[in-house]
Structure 1
Amino acid sequence: MDWNRTKSIFIIVFLILDIFLYSVYFKRYNEAQSVEIPGEKTIGVRLEDDNITYGALPNSIESATYISGKVHNFTAEFVNSNHQVDISDGTRARVILASPVKLRNVNDDTSFTEFVQANIKEGTSYALWKIDREERVAIFFQKINNRMLYYNKSGLIKVQWNTNNEVTMYEQTMIDSIEEMEQQESVIPPLQILQTLYAKGLLKPDSRITQMKLGYSTLVYLIRTQVLVPTWEVRVKLSDGETEEYFVNAVEGNVIEIQGDKQEGEEQDWGV
């Protein structure tokens, strides 16, 4: 008997049970919180009073599932043996290109997507998240079910280019062996998510909600296995032009703190 495998199965089974029980509790809690009290202002009126604006919100998604996946182990053959490849830890491939690849237009975001899809294996499974043109780094997040994995250190690509606008290297991590949990969970509607952020004082006056999307964030990290929860991403443009981003568990309704993974995704020492 493979004891490690059996132990992992038991851990995941009990984790799923805990998730189910917590989701029932938070679902009832959120339902109670969303009941309108006579005389109380609705969230729409409160946002209007504080001049917090938003465009068309996403259509309500009735249900989604938790998913699990395994951290991919890279080999030189997976990447491209023609390049200089460092896979010393197995889960992260650092690739220096044998010949730099010219970007079509460094000021056009689609140029980076074109490079990733044409030159990196499984590149179509990633979507552009952020470009830092001062540091010359573009960050891509992996997608599952066409939804992003937010700031997941095991599911991203970072592309580096030089002063000649040529890509010289990239770094890749990936989650595979994706499985959906059988239990369908109710997804909290977008407006109720805004109500949660407003109640916590996170939505500031004179700001604008510029984006709301459903993706995934890491709920549990078990060395080589992860459990991911449906997560609302909310981007807010402040009155001074700065942008803030928030992530809310789409099943339980709690605001997710992912600062650690965020730093991992943005503050990598490239050594160049």
Structure 2
Amino acid sequence: MDWNRTKSIFIMVFLILNIFLYWLYVSRYNEAQNVEISGEKTIGVRLEDDNITYGALPNSIESATYISGKVHNFTPAEFVNSNHQVDLSVETRARVILESPVKLRNVNDDTSFTEFAQAHIKEGTSYALWKVDREERVAIFFQKTNNRMLYYNKSGLLKVRWNSNNEVTMYEQTMIDSIEEMEQQESVIPPLQILQTLYAKGLLKPDSRITQMKLGYSTLVYLTRTQVLVPTWEVRVKLSDGETEEYFVNAVEGNVIEIQGDKQEGEEEDWGV
């Protein structure tokens, strides 16, 4: 037996096998990439077919953490220097009537409400303006952490009301403190996949436009004093008739979050006057 020849044959066979396996690996990798790209094009084409438009989506956020916090109990000592009338009959809510109303700089400029909150309300910089209802003369703020809003959390709300003279006459505040991030980082579902989820559920209507996508938090677990909140995508959509709809999607698990009850509680309020 010619061992040198046999050895050469084995070397050649193994070389061909390695080349084949490498080719197979590259082919499957490229196929996987093409499937992913094709999937993105598919949702893009579907949105285009229905004339659903959107601008630049947020940069991909690879990971985020769950957070926890405690519901704040207000005490009279926190308002000892205030000459306002303070109602703390519910210790988790401060309802304040201004005996000397504060003039707003310009009620047609949203920043006027933010300026008031930051200058006159405890931890006012911890809230971000969400909505201004000029017909009802009420501005609604959501508490924020790391520049991310806590969406429709009844324990993290600020509502400011003004009169016909454009003066703030009262406000109501709830607050979450001792906010901490969980140790484990969770993968965040990218924005385009969130749009695909909403589209698949029939929530994105033809001739509409996605005007905003932001990452914030929504309540996952609500105990008596402690809350656990999950990273949440907020998607704001302007319909063809000019109306605006809001959708919230769990950024970790991908399920649409129903917070209609919290929205009603956050926007409807008996001011007691």
Q: TM-score, normalised by structure 1?
A: 0.85
Answer with 1 or 2: which has the greater Rg.
2
Between stretches 100-109 and 30-39, larger displacement belongs to 30-39
Residue 194 of structure 2: SS of its match in structure 1? helix
Match in the other structure for 2:181: 180
Deviation at 1:19, TM superposition (A): 44
Is the Cα–Cα contact under 8 Å of residues 71 and 177 in structure 2 kept in the other structure? Answer: yes
Between stretches 25-34 and 38-47, larger displacement belongs to 25-34
Pair 1:118 & 2:119 matched = yes
Q: Separation in 2 of the partners of 1:165 and 1:245?
A: 29
Deviation at 1:145, TM superposition (A): 1.3
Pair 1:78 & 2:79 matched = yes
Write out aligned runs for 1:83-232 (5 A): 83-232=84-233
Runs of 4+ in 1 over 2 A off after TM superposition: 1-41, 76-81
Change (3 A) 1:126 1:49: same
Change (3 A) 1:146 1:157: same
Q: Separation in 2 of the partners of 1:55 and 1:205?
A: 16
Match in the other structure for 1:254: 255
- The share of aligned pairs that are identical, in percent, is 92
Q: Separation in 1 of the partners of 2:192 and 2:14?
A: 32
Tell me the C-alpha RMSD between the 2 structures. 15.9
Deviation at 1:271, TM superposition (A): 2.2
Q: Separation in 2 of the partners of 1:93 and 1:55?
A: 40
How many residue pairs were aligned?
272
Is the Cα–Cα contact under 8 Å of residues 23 and 252 in structure 1 kept in the other structure? Answer: no
Change (3 A) 1:257 1:4: farther
Change (3 A) 1:232 1:5: farther
Q: Separation in 2 of the partners of 1:120 and 1:71?
A: 17
Deviation at 1:34, TM superposition (A): 12
Change (3 A) 1:19 1:162: farther
Change (3 A) 1:83 1:199: same
Change (3 A) 1:210 1:40: closer
Deviation at 1:232, TM superposition (A): 0.1
Q: Separation in 2 of the partners of 1:161 and 1:5?
A: 96
